[in-house]
Amino acid sequence: MGRQDSLAKSRAAGSGILLRALLLHCALFDPRRCGAVCLPETGCDTACAFYIIQYTETMDSIGHKFRTSETQILAVNPSIVETNYIVTGNPLYVPFRCDCVNDQMLHKFPYQVTDDGSVVNITSNAFQNLTQPDWVASWNTLADKNTVKAGTYLDIPVNCSCGNPSVSSDYGLFLTYPVVTGTGSNLSGIASDFNTSVDLVKRFNPGIVWDNAQPTQYAFIPIPDRNGNYTPYGSGISNSGAGGAKSSNTGVVVGAVVGGAAVLFIVLALVLYYFCVYKRRKQNKNRRTLSRPLFTNSGDSHFGYTTPSSSKASSNPGSNSFAATSPKDYSTNNSVEYTHEELRNATNGFSVANEIGAGGFAVVYYGEIRGQRLAIKKMNLQATKEFMAELQVLTHVHHTNLVQLIGYCTQEFLFLIYEFVENGTLDQHLHKTKAGIAPLSWLSRVQIALDAARGLEYIHEHTKPKYIHRDIKSANILLDKHYHAKVADFGLTKLTHSKVDDNSATIPTRVIGTWGYMSPEYARFGDVSPLVDVYAFGVVLFEILSGREAIMRGASTMTGEATPSSVTWREKEPGALVNFFDPVLTSPNGKEKLPKFMDPNLRDKYPLEAAWKMAQLAGSCTQDLPEHRPTMRTAVVALMTLSSATQE
């Protein structure tokens, strides 16, 4: 990072002014009134912010602030080898998705204020002037921007660029870089530091007056990927709407799409061989077939990792064609290949003491490899379908609210290695299945709901092809050390047809899922659409409100009122949590009734209006007819509004 080192030294020797951040001339005012037009309209998956590592900061703390991971940061900073040894004062590229929000290219980073202060302190210190105080205030409901209490959640807008083909189509990866106040000599210095031309920088930044730069301006600088190649315009552009990402923030790796497609072809060929040839031979030899249950209840869940349940799964599957297959056949550009020996050593020989989850087809272990805390899922070879589903999804989609797949192994067993998420599952916090867990506050519950909704919106709206999770439940929502949520367990995930863009379009499939969360059209007919996940998410919202499980024993006597006879599906699902809330949602004075249905652990410490809005959203999500349900994008908007109102 020669250019970056020289840049850091020159800035350290300068006036000492904190880095100026990223604003277009239009963004100096309220961008929502500027009439700006996004280019492209859908945003792109790759952008970087220039950031200086500060004292006491770690890669983990920086990643949390910008809602990215160490792996993603390392992918665009190849000179950093050891994340435990980062140098204060050194520059860092932080990857993020560039969205089109209200006709403005930007990304909003959720941020929880750690100490009492002002918006000015937050923008200048925590975010190194990557945005302006007035702009932050315009995106948040604040009583006083000079007094922001610790614990407050803010949306921090940061501008970005995906390029401009009218200037040049050769550049599609841009760094949002602060411009120091002063004279036009900064232009030549910046161009030299980033090995580009003055003319190119000028043309990509027509709003900057270089001979009289104003405070808190920024420039978009075209930068190469980690291989030293410039990414052309359009290579990171999503085909879906704004507001999310379709793939990894580290999409700067040129050739990932081509390589991933080739690997996927090989993997699918192997799977076809397994099911069509090997498995048939094995069945003929043993004169028996493997059986699996039609439905799973919830599986075993410990420390945030669930595995499919089965009463007839073999605990010692023995050898299989996958064991003889080279692990390179499963390699991906986004995952690390581990050896069986590494995983065995990390888990103390797969000891019971390291076990954090178990089910019919897999056992999950805690382990550490090179200082990285991991959750290692050891899957029986019969679980090929689940293995392939998770591998396919999590190596192609990346989002702060989805659990991150770190690596895999195909030696002897099938292994998937995930990031370790410290605070277990939402299920454990709501239903006290884990000893010593403190009740969640109302503010935490709203944030968790919003995080989970964002993760689902991402796979529904901003990936190509789209994905449908099919097993959304509180046991599959993990909570990190800051109590932000990550959606997990993609073993049942299904691709939509490539031609299906309508959220209501359905795909017939075999029914596998969890009672209490399954929508009527899925449980009855096996019809799958993104609205199946919306229904299950609505049930999770009811859990967050009430603290009760999706299926309750003796629930028919809890409400004191009969389930409406017109709701035929719910009559067939007695004890369902959705039934429990019917007296609230169908009553003209439902808001007054709601406190009796709320989680007693909240001890009435919640705003009733906000709780009522969440109950209404949950009721809308769990409508019997899928066409009456909102999309996850609508749910995200509703929860964002609810979150802002709750904080206020």
Judge whether 407 and 337 are in contact, CB under 8 Å: yes
Q: Is 507 helix (H, G, I), strand (E, B) or coil?
A: strand
Amino acid at 42: T
As given in the structure block, the two tokens for residue 310 are 């089965």
User: Is 378 annotated to bind ligand?
Assistant: yes
For residues 224 and 46, give the distance between their C-alpha atoms in angstroms, rounded to a whole number: 12
Rounded to the nearest 5°, which phi and psi values hold at 97?
-85, 140
Rounded Cα–Cα distance for residues 421 and 534 (Å)? 24
Partners of 419 in the β-ladder: 374
Give the separation between CA 286 and CA 339, rounded to whole angstroms: 31
Among the listed residues 214, 161, 197, 180, the one whose alpha carbon sits nearest the alpha carbon of residue 29: 214
Burial of residue 497 (number of CB atoms within 10 Å: 0-12, 13-18, 19+) = exposed
**What is the rounded distance in angstroms from the CA atom of residue 362 to the CA atom of residue 488?**
15
> Under a CB-based contact definition with an 8 Å cutoff, are residues 288 and 281 in contact?
no
At residue 433, φ and ψ (nearest 5 deg) are: -85, -5
Distance (Å, rounded) from C-alpha 254 to C-alpha 305?
33
527 is an active site residue: no
The DSSP symbol for 61 reads H
CB atoms within 10 A of CB 620: 18
- Which residue reads 């046991």 in tokens? 475
Angle between helices 530-546 and 442-461 (to 10 degrees): 180
Residue in 451, 471, 533, 582 annotated catalytic? 471
Residue 357: strand, helix, or coil: strand
Question: Amino acid letter at 648?
Answer: E
Residues 6 or more apart whose Cβ sits within 8 Å of residue 367:
343, 346, 347, 354, 374, 375, 376
Per-residue tokens: 562: 């009969």
Going by C-alpha positions, the residue among 536, 514, 532 that lies closest to residue 522 is 532
**Phi, psi torsion values for 337, nearest 5 degrees:** -90, 120
Structure-token pair, residue 628: 């009456």
Distance CA 19, CA 94 (A): 14
Annotated binding-site residues for ATP read 378
Residues identified as active-site: 471
